[in-house]
């Protein structure tokens, strides 16, 4: 059995953001970053392997793939904060990055882990992501208790105060400012046979981009790519699958005019809630971006 210090050790992986990852304004889309952080931060799964002492990464990943044939893990929620260095350094044609992951809390059926993305040249922190992941029964697709060996190995993390996670917001009395239809494409589906977590950020961003261009919001308008994303919160409420017709409803936050809220629905079912906060650029910033 590993020690508490070893259990909490940071798992680091290296990667690169490539030229083709950027949008037409030379910015890295939120959903691309989420997908990259999910992939590069997948070493967090190795925290929850019975053979966690395996030091050979190839053997560990092979063992992980075998285990995934019998178990599922769903993301319940995630929150990402972007540092000022993200907009400054994460520019076309790309950067060499490092993703660090560590588990910070373990509950009965879920755990919370933190990933940080850093620039490998300057060592400056670019973004921080907190994710709550749920252990899922593959037959019922419902939460199930974590194995006993997990609770024993991570007992020092079960007694910690539960970290703040993304909570639902009430929009029942509000009329959406803009509605955007989406059909889930085959390429949006992941290994769990449902819509990948990063695709919802794309759906919501496209909703906001279309709404801003059509003048649906009072503060955020015009080309949404002129606005840097400061933070994004995602709360996954139900699964959606290939071919599903979704309705993305959006609102301005009355208390925070730089923030848009989204509710993704399938019929009457609530699929996801999202909150995106943007940096409101000055007029000179916008004019500069047009050059």
| Candidate from 62-71, 163-172, 192-201 with smallest mean pLDDT | 62-71
Distance CA(138)–CA(76), nearest Å, equals 16
Q: What is the pLDDT averaged over residues 55-72?
A: 59
Q: Is 52 exposed, middle or buried (0-12, 13-18, 19+ CB in 10 A)?
A: middle
Using 50, 70 and 90 to split pLDDT, how confident is the model at 67?
A: low
Q: Please say if the pLDDT value at position 240 is more than 60.
A: yes
Residue found under tokens 């070893």: 6
Q: Is 185 exposed, middle or buried (0-12, 13-18, 19+ CB in 10 A)?
A: exposed
Strands (E), 2-95: 11-16, 72-82
Angle value at C-alpha 235, between 234 and 240, nearest 5 degrees = 100
Backbone angles phi, psi at 31, to 5 degrees: -65, -30
Q: Please say if the pLDDT value at position 231 is more than 70.
A: yes
Q: What is the pLDDT averaged over residues 108-128?
A: 92
Q: What is the mean pLDDT of the chain?
A: 85
Residue 4: what pLDDT?
Answer: 37
Q: What is the pLDDT averaged over residues 156-172?
A: 89
Residue 14: what pLDDT?
Answer: 80
| Candidate from 11-15, 93-97, 126-130, 180-184 with smallest mean pLDDT | 11-15
Distance CA(15)–CA(253), nearest Å, equals 36
Contact 141, 103 (CB under 8 A): no
Residue 42: what pLDDT?
Answer: 54
Q: What are the tens digits of pLDDT across the range 84-110?
A: 999 888 887 778 998 888 889 999 999
- Cβ within 8 Å of residue 160, ≥6 positions away: 104, 105
Q: What is the pLDDT averaged over residues 118-146?
A: 92
Residue 153: what pLDDT?
Answer: 86
Residue 183: what pLDDT?
Answer: 98
Q: What percent of the chain has pLDDT over 90?
A: 56
Distance CA(246)–CA(270), nearest Å, equals 10
Residue 46: what pLDDT?
Answer: 52
Contact 176, 168 (CB under 8 A): no
Distance CA(274)–CA(257), nearest Å, equals 15
Residue 129: what pLDDT?
Answer: 94
Distance between first and last Cα of the chain: 59
- Quote the pTM value: 0.86
DSSP 8-state assignment for residue 217 = S
Q: Please say if the pLDDT value at position 287 is more than 70.
A: no
| Candidate from 114-118, 170-174, 192-196, 271-275 with smallest mean pLDDT | 170-174
Structure tokens at 30: 């939120």
Distance CA(102)–CA(13), nearest Å, equals 12
Using 50, 70 and 90 to split pLDDT, how confident is the model at 43?
A: very low
Top-confidence residue, 9 or 196: 196
Residue 144: what pLDDT?
Answer: 93
Strands of the 110-119 sheet, one edge to the other: 11-16, 96-106, 110-119, 125-136, 72-82, 228-236, 269-279, 259-266, 245-252, 178-183
């Amino acid at each position: 059995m590993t020690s508490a210090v070893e259990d909490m050790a940071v798992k680091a992986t290296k990667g690169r953001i490539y030229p083709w990852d950027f949008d037409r304004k030379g910015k890295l889309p939120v959903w691309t970053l989420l997908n990259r952080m999910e992939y590069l931060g997948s070493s967090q799964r190795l925290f929850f392997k019975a053979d966690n002492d395996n030091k050979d990464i190839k053997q560990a990943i092979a063992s992980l793939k075998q285990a995934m044939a019998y178990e599922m893990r769903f993301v319940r929620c995630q929150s990402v904060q972007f540092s000022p260095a993200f907009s400054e350094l994460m520019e076309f044609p790309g950067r060499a990055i490092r993703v660090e992951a560590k588990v910070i809390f373990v509950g009965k059926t879920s755990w919370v882990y933190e990933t940080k993305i850093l620039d490998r040249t300057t060592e400056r922190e670019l973004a921080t992501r907190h994710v709550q992941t749920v252990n899922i029964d593959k037959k019922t697709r419902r939460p199930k208790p974590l194995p006993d060996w997990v609770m024993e190995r991570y007992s020092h993390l079960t007694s910690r105060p539960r970290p703040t996670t993304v909570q639902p917001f009430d929009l029942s009395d509000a009329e959406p400012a803009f509605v955007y239809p989406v059909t889930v494409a085959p390429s949006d589906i992941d290994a769990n046979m449902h819509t990948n977590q990063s695709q919802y950020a794309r759906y919501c961003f496209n909703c906001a981009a279309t709404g801003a261009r059509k003048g649906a919001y009072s503060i955020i308008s015009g080309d949404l790519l002129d606005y840097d994303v400061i933070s994004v919160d995602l709360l996954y409420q139900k699964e959606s699958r290939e071919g599903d017709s979704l309705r993305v409803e959006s609102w301005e936050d009355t208390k925070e005019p730089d923030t848009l809220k989204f509710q993704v629905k399938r019929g009457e079912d609530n699929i996801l809630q999202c909150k995106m906060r943007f940096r409101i650029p000055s007029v000179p910033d916008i004019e500069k971006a047009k050059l």
